[in-house]
Amino acid sequence: MELSLFWTSIYIVILAAFTGYVVISRVPVILHTPLMSGSNFIHGIVLIGAMVALGLATTTGQQIIGFIAVVLGAANVTGGYVITERILQMFDSSRKKPGKGD
Amino acid sequence: MVDLSFLIDPVYIATIIIFIIGLQRMSHPLTARSGIVWAGAAMLIATLVTFLTPELTNFALIAIAIVIGGGLGYIAAKRVAMTDMPQMVAIYNGMGGGAAAGIAAVHLLGTTTPATSTLAVIGGLIGAVSFSGSMIAFMKLQGWMRPRPITFPGQQVVNMAVLGLAALSGILLLWQPAFLPLSFSTYLPLFFILSLAFGILMTLPIGGADMPVVISMYNAFTGLAVGLDGFSFATPNYAMVIAGIIVGAAGTLLTVLMARAMNRSIANILFGAFGATEETTAEIQGSIKSIEAEDVAAMLAYANSVVIVPGYGMAVAQAQQKVKELMDQLESRNVTVKFAIHPVAGRMPGHMNVLLAEAGISYDHLFDRDEINQEFPGTDVVLVIGANDVVNPAAHREGSPLFGMPILDVEQARNVIVLKRGQGRGFSGIENDLFYRDNTRMLYGDAKETLGELVQAVKRL
C-alpha cells in the first residue's frame, strides 16, 4: 500500500466512524433492539467481499473457504433483514387499529 | 460480454448513502420500518452489481452458496418465534463474523502485500472472535448451554494468554522468521483456532442477563472486522470499509448505551462474571404466599391505581393481548392502569415496548423506570407478569450479585401480585427477595391462561 493510500484510508475510516456515531447518537431505548438488528444487517455487506474472494479464488482450499464465507455472508444478509423487518413490523401495527394484525 | 464493471463504484457509493439514510430512519420510531426496506434494496443492488467484478470466476459456486446461505437464513428467520429474536441476532451476527474471517483466510492463502496481509490478520482475528463468541451467546440464549456464567480459577489469565498466543501466531504468520522450524501452513490454522478459542473463552463467564450487551459488542466487532477486511483486497473494497466501520462505531455506541441502561460498565460485564457467586437463601426472611385468581380480580377491580410490570414470562406466553383486555376491563371501571417498563425487561431493550405495541397498547400508557419509580408508594396493586430480576429488591442490598442494578421498586406498593409459571429463578439465577415480602402474593400458572381467568373474573364482579 502506498503512503498516500494509507493516509486516504485513515481519512475514510475516521469519517465513517464519526458517521456511525452521529447517526444513532440520540436513539430512544425502545429502538435499541431493532437498531442492533438493523446494523447486524448492514454488516452483511461482507457478502459482496466474500463473493469477490470466492470469485477470484484459484486453489481448491481458497474455493472451499470462500464458499463457506459466501454461505455465511448470505445468511447474515437475509436473516438480518427478515429479523429486523419482523421487529419493526410491530411498531407499525401500533399506528393501525389493533386486532387487524398482518 | 459487455464490460459493465464501471457500474460497480457508483452503485457501491449509492449503497453506502442509502445505508446511512436507512440507519438514520431506523433511529426514529415512525420512520424505522422504511429504514430497513431502503437498506435492503441497496444491499440487493450491491450484491447484483458485484457479479460484474472484472476477472470474476466461479459464478456457479457463488450462486449456489448464496442460495444455500440466503435460503437457510431466510427460512430460519421467518419461522422463529418473536421471543427468540435476541439469539437470532446473535447467530446471524456470528455468521457475518465467520464470513469476515473466511475472507481473511482466502486472502492470506493468496498473493498479498505486507499491508493487505496485516489487515487480513487483524480482520480475521476479530471476525473469528465474533463468530465463536456469538455462537456461544446463541447457545446460552437458546438453552443449549447453561445460561449462567461458567468460571474457573485463573480464568482471566488463561483468556489473556490465549489472546496473546493468537496475536503471536498472527505475527509469526506475517513474519515467518527463519529461526523457527514451523511454516505458514502451521501458523494459519493455529492462528484461527486460537482466535476462535478466545471468542469462546471470553463469552463463557458472561451471564445470561448481560447477553444483549455482549451481542451488541460482537455486532460492533463484526462491523470492524468487515471494515478491516475491506482493505485486504488488492483493490480496497470501500463499500465494505465504510459500511463495516459505520457499524463498528454505531455498535460500540449502542453497546455503551445498553450497558448504561443497566448501570453497569462494559468492563464489569466482560470480567465481572455476573451472578457467578451463589448466594445462600437463608438471608431471606418471610415465606412465599400464593393467591387465587378470583381474589386478585377483586383487588384489581376495586383499586384506584394499578401498575403492570411485564417481563419475559409475558413474552413467552404470548399474553400481551390478554394484558390489553385486562387493561380495557379495568379502565372501564375507572381504574388507572400504567405500565412500568424496565429498560432491560425481557431479553433485550425495547422487547416489552414492541410486544405491548403489537397488542395495541398506546405509548402514553408506558412509563420508564425513572418516571414510574416514585409512583409505587401510592400504587394500590402492582401486577408483575413474568418479570423477575428487574423487580428484585436484592439489587439494593450490598453483596448481592445484583447490587447496583437499577430496578423497579415495586415492593413499595401496597400490594404486589406476581404472575409466575413456577417457582424458578430469574434469568440471572438469583433468588428474588420480593416473593417473600409480606405484601407480595404469588399467582402461579401460564401467564396467558391466568390473565384470561382474571379478565373473566373482573367481568363477573
Cβ atoms of B227 and B171 within 8 Å: the answer is: no
pLDDT tens-digit readout, B120-176: 999 999 999 999 999 999 998 888 888 778 888 888 899 999 999 999 999 999 988
Mean pLDDT for B439-460 is 92
Q: Over 90: is that where the pLDDT of A57 sits?
A: yes
Distance from CA of A39 to the nearest CA of B (A): 6
Q: Does A19 touch chain B (CB under 8 A)?
A: yes
What is the average pLDDT across B57-64? Answer: 96
Residues contacting residue B45 through CB under 8 Å, at least 6 positions apart: B11, B14, B15
Tell me B279's DSSP state: P
Report yes or no: B224 at the A interface, CB cutoff 8 Å: no
| CA angle, residues B142, B40, B356, in degrees to nearest 5 | 50
What is the spatial distance between Cα B248 and Cα A16, in angstroms, rounded to a whole number? 9
Question: What are the backbone angles phi and psi of residue B41, rounded to the nearest 5°?
Answer: -65, -45
DSSP conformational letter for B93: H
Strands B305-310 and B415-420: unpaired
In one letter, which amino acid is B397? Answer: R
Average pLDDT score over residue span B2-13: 91
Q: Letter for the amino acid at B144?
A: W
pLDDT score of B416 more than 90? yes
Please return the burial class of A64, using the count of CB atoms within 10 Å of its CB with bins 0-12, 13-18 and 19+. Answer: middle
Scan for cell 447518537, then name that residue: A25
Distance in angstroms (rounded) separating the CA atoms of residues B232 and A52? 12
Query: Which contiguous run of DSSP H or E holds residue B200?
Result: helix B184-203
Partner residue facing B61 (CB), from A63, A82, A99: A63
Q: How far apart are CA B39 and CA B21, in angstroms?
A: 8
> What are B7's three cell numbers?
457500474
Give Dmax (Cα) for chain A: 61
Among B350, B265, B40, smallest CA distance to A27 is for B350
Per-residue pLDDT tens over the stretch B300-309: 999 999 999 9
B297: left (phi over 0), alpha (psi -120 to 50) or beta: alpha
Residue with C-alpha cell 478466545?
A: B198
**Best A46, A70, A84, A96 residue to mutate vs chain B (most B CBs within 10 Å):** A46
Strand, helix or coil at B308?
strand
**In chain B, which among 100-129 make CB contacts under 8 A with chain A?**
100-103, 105-107, 109-110, 113, 115-116
pLDDT of residue B372: 92
pLDDT at B280 over 70: no
Q: How far apart are the CA of B368 and the nearest CA of chain A, in angstroms?
A: 10
Of A17, A62, A93, the CB nearest to B245: A17
Q: Do residues B324 and B361 lie in contact, with contact meaning Cβ atoms separated by under 8 Å?
A: yes
A interface mutation test: which of B49, B106, B365 has the most A CBs within 10 A? B106
- The number of beta carbons lying within 10 Å of the beta carbon of residue A63 is 17
Which residues of B have a catalytic role annotated?
Answer: 389
